[in-house]
Amino acid sequence: MAIPFSRPLALSQGDPAGIGPDITLMAWLRRRELGLPPFFLIGDPDVLALRARQLNLAVPIREIDKADAAIGMFADALPVTSVPAGIEVVAGEPHAATAKGTIAAIEKAVSLVIGGEALAVVTNPIAKAVLYEAGFRFPGHTEFLADLAARATGGPVTPVMMLSGPKLRAIPVTIHIPLRDVPQALTEKLVMETCRIAHDDLRQRFGIDAPRLAVAGLNPHAGETGTIGREDEDIIRPAIERLRDEGIDAIGPLPADTMFHDEARARYDVAICMYHDQALIPAKALGFDDSVNVTLGLPFVRTSPDHGTAFGIAGKGLAREHSLVAALKLAAQLGRTAESRR
């Protein structure tokens, strides 16, 4: 028998003109079939109701003031904590006037989880360009969440992005920077810090007692002992050696072109990659619909669907809820595991 949840998941609406409302409605409709953990949306209930009508989805929507009200209500209605969008939202037509509400929904989700009222944060996709137009000063979701966490705890927070799917977990050490800047951004300290956070979160939240880390090289053939670039020998290898001295099971640097076939993946729990596409291409190729974006290194659990706002299909009945479903399930699993290990 499944253990009932005492706290729901807090799901932010994301950009209200994107597919966040669509996939939220679709996920709730499949709650019984898929055994979804209880969640509530933080966003504009009018946007949600309009999108339900556009998509011809029979989803009763009820506003709540307290997160715990979502537990008893979830079976019969989609609970919503109201954060107004700011304008009348048209599916597929993003507008900077909605940025304030989008940001407020994320802030509310974090405050409820840090305050112990919700189990974990799940975020629907945002459009960074829309937020930038309104003065948003963070590169993206991850950095904003880290800032919120740092403000709440009063301590430094280093966020680490992981894509977690049924066949592969992958982490990029550097993320949203130009490829030409990666060699300069890579440092022994950064590689070590990323690996330490991955090791700790795999233990505390994923329940892996002795995580195995496979660390990719930066250059072709992992630098071929320094003949195809020195970064692998001068930065990555020393970092791995120091990690192993600390008791962390890290191997590498490994040639990235031989790290992701079935036999290779069986030998590790997470791939630590040196740049964005080195991690995300194999992760998405091996699990496009059911991979989840997980932020490690935060004092709370945060997951997100592994896709964007998809304005072109919003409100048209073409969106798929699979990645959001996976994000909700993983958030609940990680939240419960973290609780059990405290």
Binding residues for substrate: 141-142, 284, 293, 302
Q: Any idea what the Cα angle at residue 321 is, between residues 318 and 322, rounded to 5°?
A: 120
Q: Give phi and psi for 123, each to the nearest 5.
A: -115, 130
Residue 255: Cβ-neighbour burial (10 angstroms; 0-12, 13-18, 19+):
middle
Q: Say if residues 301 and 120 touch (Cβ distance below 8 Å).
A: yes
Q: What angle do CA 318, 97, 59 make, to 5 degrees?
A: 40
Strand 292-296 to strand 160-164: parallel, antiparallel, or no bridges (unpaired)? Answer: antiparallel
User: Element (H or E) spanning 51, and its range?
Assistant: helix 45-54
Write out the binding residues for a divalent metal cation. Answer: 176, 221, 276
Tell me the two tokens of residue 252.
Answer: 């590498």
Binding residues: 141-142, 176, 221, 276, 284, 293, 302
SS3 299: coil
